[in-house]
Chain A
Amino acid sequence: RKEVEQDPGPFNVPEGATVAFNCTYSNSASQSFFWYRQDCRKEPKLLMSVYSSGNEDGRFTAQLNRASQYISLLIRDSKLSDSATYLCVVNGDDYGQNFVFGPGTRLSVLP
């Protein structure tokens, strides 16, 4: 089983739609959680950190459920510019394990 798993995608949605991505992780000692986005042939860029209490940044909402080892990302009112691959990233245990990436979920927002 992979350490971080994501919805396989791709997701093709019309502009203005709401879309949700799911991610699960296997290391219960993981401490830090992030969503990054990666555009075609570019480096990953931080979209948002994910906090236990859940957090929102404009149209983006992230949730973390430690008991279920589950992370989600909700995008409301999707824009064409949201088209990208969304990477669920987990930073491990107290030792400070390096970033472990999910395989990514590709989103295409269509006009």
Chain B
Amino acid sequence: GEEVAQTPKHLVRGEGQKAKLYCAPIKGHSYVFWYQQVLKNEFKFLISFQNENVFDETGMPKERFSAKCLPNSPCSLEIQATKLEDSAVYFCASSQLFGQSQETQYFGPGTRLLVL
């Protein structure tokens, strides 16, 4: 598609439950990024992929967060045993290239996760 698609738009989970978020990058884009925005404040980088390979996972809280990008499937971000502080908007972005000067990332509409 011509836009980054994210599902679901909203997700409500009780503490300790699992949450799974999906992202379909723009067709032809090789790079996918996940960011977390808490309370409309600063963005925190989580993980990036080059096609199905993890490119950089330095931002991932490894104990409970995992992510995949498999061929011919939307990318996913999964949170096991959600905590209250996981409540945030999770944005996915994609780019055609990476590390190129002025290569833009295009963002999806986000998934709003609320953990109660």
List residues of chain A with CB under 8 Å of any chain B CB.
31-32, 34, 40-46, 49, 51, 85, 87, 91, 94-104
Contact = CB atoms under 8 A, between A and B. Distances in A.
Contacts of A95: 99
Given A32-B102, A43-B91, A98 B42 contact: no
Given A43-B109, A103-B41, A103-B42, A98 B104 contact: no
Contacts of B59: 98
Contacts, number: 53
Nearest to B58: A98
| Prevailing SS type, chain B contact patch | loop
A47 B49 CA distance: 25
A45 B104 contact: no
A43 B108 contact: yes
B33 interface: yes
Contact of A98 (B33, B101, B110): B33
20 contacts: A32-B103, A34-B104, A40-B40, A41-B40, A42-B110, A43-B91, A43-B107, A43-B108, A43-B109, A45-B107, A46-B104, A46-B106, A87-B43, A91-B103, A95-B99, A96-B98, A98-B45, A98-B59, A99-B45, A104-B42
Contacts of B99: 94-96
Contact of A49 (B40, B42, B104, B107): B104
A43 B109 CA distance: 5
Nearest to B4: A43
A43 B98 contact: no
